[in-house]
Amino acid sequence: MNYGKAFVPGLIAGLAMAIVGAVLNLFWQEIFPSLKAESATLVFRPEADPLFWAAFICPVFLGLVMAYIWQKSGGRICFFTFCLPSDDPSKKDVLGFATTFIIMALISLLMTYSSFSMSFLMFLVWCDSVIIQYFLGTWILAKMIK
């Protein structure tokens, strides 16, 4: 199996996820100005801190990891087949793969929400971004890795 073939799709999926995450972040800050004010508090890392920008690199690494796993498993890595609505095998793969990653990410986000003094609105917005990013990333991988 040539894992090098997964690199480019992973990079593209990761970059798409990073861009969508950044756009959604800006979008929600426009809709809910309180989020912008909250982001400027001491609870969050300021933009002037170079570590802040690592938040945009993580989705790229995630894209590469997802591509590697998709390549290895052929997209069939669903942990929760019993709850998927589609009968179409290709759609089921995308749904199952994305759902698996989304559920794990949401559990991590719940841990973050319970530990840090962030608002419930911020938590919801992050959950929403995670769901959209993972579906987009998985859809790109399904299209690019045959």
Partner 1 sequence: MKKVLLSGLVAGIAMAVVGMVCNMLWQKLLPGLEVQYQAPLFRPWSDPLMSLIFVVPVLSGFVMASAWKAVGGKLCFCEHDVKDVTKNILGFVGFFIVLSVLGMLMTYSCFPMSFLMLVTWCVSMVVEYLVGTWILAKMIK
What residues make contact with partner 1 under the rule CB under 8 A? 42-46, 49, 51-55, 58, 61-62, 65, 68-69, 72-73, 77-81, 100-101, 103-105, 107-108, 110-117
Tell me the C-alpha distance between 39 and 45, whole Å.
8
Give me the least distance between CB of 67 and partner 1, in Å please.
13
The gap from C-alpha 120 to its chain's centroid, in whole angstroms, comes to 19
| CA 103 to each of CA 20, 54, 108, 131: distance values in angstroms, whole numbers, following the listed order | 19, 23, 9, 9
96 touches 138 (CB < 8 A): no
Give me the least distance between CB of 18 and partner 1, in Å please.
11
Give me the least distance between CB of 17 and partner 1, in Å please.
12
Q: Toward partner 1, which CB reaches closer, 101 or 135?
A: 101
Q: Toward partner 1, which CB reaches closer, 58 or 121?
A: 58
